[in-house]
Amino acid sequence: MVGVIDVLKVRKVFLQSDGSEFTVLNDVELRFDSGEFVSLIGPSGCGKSTLLRIIAGLEHADSGTISLDGEPITTPGSERGLVFQDPTLFPWMTIQENIAYGLRARGIYDQEKDSIPDFFHLVGLEGFESAYPHHLSGGMAQRAAIARVLVNRPKVLLLDEPLGALDAFTRMNMQDEILKIWQQQKMTTILVTHDVDEAIYMANKVIVMSARPAKIEKIIDVGIPRPRRRDSTEFLRLRADILGTLHFAGGAQESELFERGLGV
């Protein structure tokens, strides 16, 4: 496993219903190193999720390239696992069937089925193999969605605001669960979030994007030792730095909401 992603001069333009165009990403350049945990944060609509979807192979850049370990990304692939805000579990399948779905789709279920219990253990869902999605809480359903991705043993884990719909207590618990999985699996992890505290708490590096058309406003290394305290002086200093950068980057309204503890 390596999992180095290079983003080179990526530009993405969307066509609106009236025929006009608007640019979401404008010559974005980034490098995600093997095994690092990176958070992407920026004003609403700046293109964070679009960039993640291009890395996943669900969208195509209009110009520029994205590569994984030197190979251009043009289509979805099991080496890149994407977790959405909604768990998107199949309601007619048991949790075991949901988690095994990718293995069956790839035709490797028989070879890999003995590993499935390991992933139930990894996400703390032992005993729920025969349950259906409607039996699970929001946090448990999101754990199942993460296990469904991890069972494919991806090099890269892409997280598109996966905790945004959870209550505050469950969200903080899930942050720790995701960190535990990342520390055990050592995969390159990219998290899109609107929560500045979440970005600092989880990531080795926080990338602040500007308002649309997005460019990279600032890259901040988070050197705080783990486990991190949200009330530490260094944590609060980084929080103020990111909020200030967001305000400068065209996210003034969003920055004000963060400061009032509301998020967006």
Strands (E), 117-179: 156-160
Q: Which residue from 40, 78, 73, 72 is spatially nearest to 59, judged by alpha carbons?
A: 73
Q: Which helix (H) or strand (E) holds 191?
A: strand 188-192
Name the strands in the sheet holding 63-68, side by side, starting at the edge strand that comes first in the sequence.
21-32, 5-15, 63-68, 71-72
Model confidence band, residue 248 (pLDDT cutoffs 50, 70, 90): low
Residues 6 or more apart whose Cβ sits within 8 Å of residue 172 = none
- The CATH code belonging to domain 5-228 is 3.40.50.300
Name the β-bridge partners of 21: 15
Q: Which helix (H) or strand (E) holds 204?
A: none
Model confidence band, residue 259 (pLDDT cutoffs 50, 70, 90): very low
- pLDDT score of 162: 92
- pLDDT score of 255: 46
- pLDDT score of 232: 95
- Cα angle for residues 130, 186, 200 (degrees, 5° grid): 95
Over residues 222-242, mean pLDDT: 94
pTM attached to this predicted model? 0.91
Whether residue 206 contacts residue 197, with contact meaning beta carbons closer than 8 Å, is answered with no
Model confidence band, residue 149 (pLDDT cutoffs 50, 70, 90): very high
Residue 258 has pLDDT above 70, yes or no: no
Percent of the chain predicted with pLDDT > 90: 81
Task: Give Cα 122 distance to the centre of its chain.
Answer: 18
Looking up tokens 């979401």 gives 24
Model confidence band, residue 263 (pLDDT cutoffs 50, 70, 90): very low
Q: What is the pLDDT of residues 179-210, one digit of tens each?
A: 999 999 999 999 999 999 999 999 999 999 99
Over residues 32-42, mean pLDDT: 96
Question: Which one has a higher pLDDT value, 78 or 45?
Answer: 78
Domain extents for the chain? 5-228, 229-264
Q: What is the pLDDT of residues 78-135, one digit of tens each?
A: 999 999 989 999 999 999 999 999 999 999 999 999 999 999 999 999 999 999 999 9
With H, G, I as helix, E, B as strand and everything else as coil, classify residue 29: strand
Residue 144 has pLDDT above 60, yes or no: yes
Model confidence band, residue 236 (pLDDT cutoffs 50, 70, 90): very high
Name the β-bridge partners of 15: 21
DSSP letters, 77-102, are -TTEEEE-SS----TTS-HHHHHHHH
DSSP assigned state of 214: B
Residue 97 to residue 148: CA distance in whole angstroms: 9
Residue 1 has pLDDT above 80, yes or no: no
Residue 264 has pLDDT above 60, yes or no: no
- Count how many residues are written for the chain: 264
Q: What is the dihedral of CA 89, 93, 98, 103, to 10 degrees?
A: -140
Residue 41 has pLDDT above 50, yes or no: yes
